[in-house]
Amino acid sequence: MGASINQIKNMLHITSLHKSYAIGDSSLHVLKGIDLSVETGEMVAIMGSSGSGKSTLLNIIGMLDEADSGTYILDGLPIDDLTEKKAAVYRNKFLGFIFQSFNLINYKSAIENVALPLYYQGLKRKKRLELARFHLGKVGLDAWAEHLPKELSGGQKQRVAIARALAANPKLLLADEPTGALDTKTSHDIMAFIQQLNDEGKTILMVTHEEDIANMCKRIVRLKDGVIIEDTPVDQVRASQYV
Ligand code: ADP
Ligand code: MG
């Protein structure tokens, strides 16, 4: 592989990434040559109007989907032609996910949801529950450990999802519209928490279409018609000033 030392120290290095979806007999070219590097410790917002390819890009970065062409290096590791099994192992080891719709398992309690990814790490049940309780505590939900998702507010559900994403100590946290289903106050509350994680060193890549949320990140990458049209640093707004 031709990856230079410089590329290898990036958390993420993407070049000339393309992705099309087949729709009947035709195809929709969604990503048209994306070049993107993210360093360890960054907090990046990916912005763009609905349909601009934000989720597609995030899903490829998250190894939930595959690009048609281009290169993708994650923490020095070339990601291409992975078997499903290997992709799952890398996903579990390197990545945490947060989604707009929380994606919690409805019939499992908060603590069981948080413990679930640890199962795939081969930890014993006692250790899994211990770690899950620790991470639930970090998001302030100690008292809610045994509750089902339907008994929690939107903000609490997203906190459980954050705890779950962090349980396996991922190198990179990926969030697709993490505040998209929350009211303004709860959004700021969640963003304050995500900023704190970044302050502690976690690398964060977040999709959003809300300017105020993007301004709480340190860098904004704008997508339009499948290409990056802007990539600028921002003076981060602290969510805590609203909370
Ligand atoms: P965004 O997250 O920016 O709203 P997406 O990445 O979800 O955009 O989608 C980009 C485009 O690709 C949209 O036109 C969408 O309809 C289309 N698309 C997304 N996923 C699929 C899929 N699995 N099959 C076909 N088309 C898709
Ligand atoms: Mg999307």
Q: What is the pLDDT of residue 97?
A: 95
Task: Give a yes or no: residue 164 inside a domain.
Answer: yes
Please give the DSSP secondary-structure letter assigned to residue 69.
E
CATH of the domain at 211: 3.40.50.300
**Position of tokens 């009947």?**
24
**For residue 243, is pLDDT > 70?**
no
Look at residue 30 and tell me if it is in a domain.
no
Residue 18 lies in a domain: no
Output b/e per residue, 137-172; b: 16+ Cβ within 10 A: ebbebeebbeebbeebebbbbbbbbbbbbbbbebeb
> Residue 90 domain-assigned?
yes
CB 136 within 8 A of CB 163: yes
CA 189, 193, 198: angle at the middle one, nearest 5? 145
Give the residue whose CA is nearest to atom 15 of ligand 1. 51
> What residue owns the CA closest to ligand 1's atom 27?
21
Instruction: Answer yes or no: is the C-beta of 53 below 6 A from any ligand 1 atom.
Output: yes
Strands 69-74 and 203-207: unpaired
What confidence tens digit (pLDDT) does each residue in 55-72 have? 999 999 999 999 999 999
Rounded to two decimals, what is the model's pTM? 0.93
**Ligand 1 contact via 21 beta carbon (within 6 Å):** yes
Which amino acid residue places its CA nearest to atom 22 of ligand 1? 21
Query: Which residue has the least CA distance to atom 16 on ligand 1?
Result: 51
- Would you say residue 116 lies in a domain? yes
Q: d(Cα 183, Cα 190) in Å, to the nearest integer?
A: 11
- Say if residues 192 and 238 touch (Cβ distance below 8 Å): yes
Q: Which ligand is nearest to the CA of 27?
A: 1
Distance of CA 121 to the CA centre of its chain: 19
On whether residue 31 sits in a domain, the answer given is no
Q: Is the CB of 56 under 6 A from ligand 1?
A: yes
Give the chain's mean pLDDT.
93
The answer on pLDDT for 8 being more than 60 is: no
pLDDT given for residue 181 in this prediction: 94
Q: Please give the average per-residue pLDDT across 68-92, as a whole number.
A: 89
Asked whether residue 42 carries a pLDDT value surpassing 80, the answer given is yes
Ligand minimally distant from the alpha carbon of residue 53: 1
Model confidence pLDDT, tens digit, residues 220-238:
999 999 999 999 999 999 9
| Residues at Cβ < 5 Å from ligand 2 ion | 54-55
CB of 106 shorter than 6 A to ligand 1: no
Residue closest via CA to ligand 1's atom 25 equals 21
Ligand 1 atom with the smallest distance to the CA of 65 is: 23
Q: Decide: 149 and 102 in contact? Cβ < 8 Å.
A: yes
Residue 106 within a domain: yes
- Number of folded domains that form the chain: 1
Domain that holds residue 201: 41-68+78-241
Ligand 1 atom closest to Cα of 23? Answer: 25
DSSP 8-class letter at 236: P
CB of 222 sitting under 6 A from ligand 1: no
Average pLDDT (117-135) is: 93
Tokens of 170: 């991922």
Tell the residue number behind the tokens 């909370």, with chain if given: 243
Does the Cβ of 51 fall within 6 Å of ligand 1? yes
User: Is the confidence at residue 122, as pLDDT, over 90?
Assistant: no
pLDDT digits (tens, 9 = 90+) for 195-211: 999 999 999 999 999 99
Q: Which residue puts its alpha carbon closest to atom 20 of ligand 1? A: 56
* pLDDT score for 84: 85
Residue 6 has pLDDT above 70, yes or no: no
Q: Given this model, what pLDDT does residue 121 score? A: 83
Torsion of CA 134, 139, 145, 149, to 10 degrees: -140
Confidence of residue 10 (pLDDT cuts 50, 70, 90): confident
The band of 5, judged by pLDDT with boundaries at 50, 70 and 90, is low
Beta partners for residue 38, in sequence order: 12
Averaged pLDDT, 165-192 = 94
Whether residue 36 is contained in a domain is answered as no
What is the model's pLDDT at position 120? 82
Q: Which ligand is located closest to the Cα atom of residue 177?
A: 2
- For residues 17 and 72, the answer to whether their CB atoms sit within 8 Å is yes
